[in-house]
Amino acid sequence: MDTTPKPGEPSGPVDVIDESTFQELCDDVAGHVNAQMGRLLDLTIWLIDPENERFWAAHDVWRPQQFLAWRCGIGPSLANNLVAAAERADELPTSLDAMRSGELSLDQLMPIVRRIPAWADEQVVSLAKKLTVSQVRRLVRNTDWHWTPPADDDAADESTAVTSCLDADDTPTGGEAPTGSKATSAEPACSTSGASELRNRVAFGTGADGRWWLHADLDPDVGLLIENALDEARDAVFQRENRAAHDDAERVFRPVSDTDALFELAQRSLDTVTEPARRNRYRVNLHLDLHGSLRTDHGDRLPDSIARHLTCDGSIDPVFAAAGKPVSVGRTQRTIPDRTRRTVLQRDRRCCQVPGCTTTRGLDLHHIIHWADGGRTDTPNLVVLCARHHRMHHRHRLGITGNADDPNRLVFTDARGHPIRASGATPHPPNGPPRPIRGNYRHPLGERLESRWVSFVNPRVPAIRRRDQYPDLAGPDPSNPERTDPSVHHAERYPDVS
């Protein structure tokens, strides 16, 4: 009886997995995954080289991240991480080589890429291999990589030298090697070569559970400004909602949360928009079908409880359909009516429809057959484009044909007339085991990380007093019993970096 699996049939696991092989297989697979991700990183390094820009720019993709996601069939987050790591390849050679050899994962590498200066590359990666991803993130976040010694009478010469940011050739010899420290309130006096700048970031979206989420990572001064705005809005809502309770002893005060304050700020912002066209553009539109399902412009379905609440007292603007397709205004007008605009945005999930483009802001609606050429203002002839691809089309660098109501019949072509596929991924099935990895993957220790006992030596900064930088590592100072000398414990605990 022939038991050879036929092409296209599932073949099941390729390894014999049991209690005796599980641990070894985990290390083997993890090491190969890391090494293969390192190969993909090398491809990304080649891709972002300015000399190779024509290779990906010719495909009418906005950024190399979008081309990488389109070509390899990976998500935007992974593509962004690969490009971010590739951009620091020259500054972090040891960290990147650890991933190429299978000893470090991309998730362990990314906190290093985002925050670690070049001088700490070798020191951090030797420890990161033994830490979990969460521990690596906490370690790099809690370390002040720009620490400089405080200026006082005892170290005036040293602090003056530090603020001058010496080059490598100017670093004094014969003294202690300077170090980086855990986070303190000291402001950096100079920039460190290779250090990535921390930028304000705000992210939001809808999760798999249908809940909308918001995350902000901001400078302290910006954060305090937002906190004060929330405090004021919270107080305004409290005063408004509980005004009658001051005169009625039996009425219970209504508590007000930060969520109420944030909603108040959003309402105030939208209430300041007086121009009708602009108000309609930023109106919250929800789409109710004949079955009672309520969806957002992005296609996310709202819970039935929210749908019933909103449809009790909401402004409903009907969209008429024929043969299952919305009916619009045809040739009666060139300007796209608001109702048709909302229908097209909902159909295209508020995202640019060019393959590989994930832009969801600053979107335009485009007539596939131009109005001047007899095109109609109907949904089959309207498609959502980002501002960049809209300009490219009118500059004859991007072709668009087909029926927008049927995504399978919508065709995009580049400047050479070649069709742009929905996905450029063409993975080859493996015809054998992967090539051996150079390193030996060992899983994180999983032990508690005492970050107060961790220090990093910065060779670009003159010698400093470690008692000020690492008080937790300090030992007795023979010259002054009330002070301590951190070099005693540091040399015993970290002989390789002293």
Report the pLDDT value the prediction gives residue 246, as an integer from 0 to 100.
58
What is the residue range of 329's domain?
323-413
- Domain check: are 312 and 386 in the same one? no
State the pLDDT at residue 463.
53
- CA pair distance 300, 27, nearest whole angstrom: 39
Q: Largest Cα–Cα distance in the chain?
A: 93
Angle at 137 between CA 146 and CA 203, to 5 degrees: 95
Question: Quick count: other Cβ atoms within 10 Å of Cβ 203?
Answer: 9
Place of tokens 């559970």: 209
223's CB contacts (< 8 A; 6+ apart) are: 216
The Cα angle at residue 233 between residues 216 and 260, in degrees rounded to 5: 70
Q: Are residues 300 and 341 in the same domain?
A: no
Does any domain span residue 423? no
pLDDT value at residue 175 = 40
How far is the CA of 29 from the CAs of 49, 125, 276, 444, in angstroms?
Answer: 31, 21, 59, 15
Mean pLDDT of 276-280: 73
Residue 205 within any structural domain of the chain: no
| 178 lies in the same domain as 93 | yes
Instruction: Tell me what pLDDT residue 79 has.
Output: 93
Asked if 346 and 393 sit in the same domain, the reply is yes
Q: Are residues 361 and 387 in the same domain?
A: yes
**For tokens 């819970």, what's the residue?**
303
If asked whether residues 266 and 280 sit together in one domain, one would say no
What is the crossing angle of helices 133-141 and 106-115, to 10°?
Answer: 10
Tell me what pLDDT residue 58 has: 61
Q: Which of 316, 334, 349 is the last residue of a domain?
A: 316
Examine the domain organization and report whether 440 and 478 are in the same domain.
yes
Check pLDDT > 60 for residue 76.
yes
In a domain, 265, yes or no: yes
pLDDT in tens, 293-346: 777 766 777 777 676 656 555 565 655 555 555 655 555 555 788 778 888 888
Tell me: do 258 and 389 sit in the same domain: no
Q: What is the pTM of this model?
A: 0.60
User: CA-to-CA distance for 121 and 133, rounded, in angstroms?
Assistant: 17
- For the stretch 351-377, pLDDT in tens is 899 888 888 888 889 999 887 788 888
Dist CA 370 CA 159 (whole Å): 67
pLDDT digits (tens, 9 = 90+) for 412-423: 988 888 888 877
Co-location of 306 and 328 in the same domain = no
Query: Domains in the chain: how many in total?
Result: 4
Contacts with 427 (C-beta within 8 Å, 6 or more apart), sequence order: 73
* H or E, element range at 238: helix 220-241
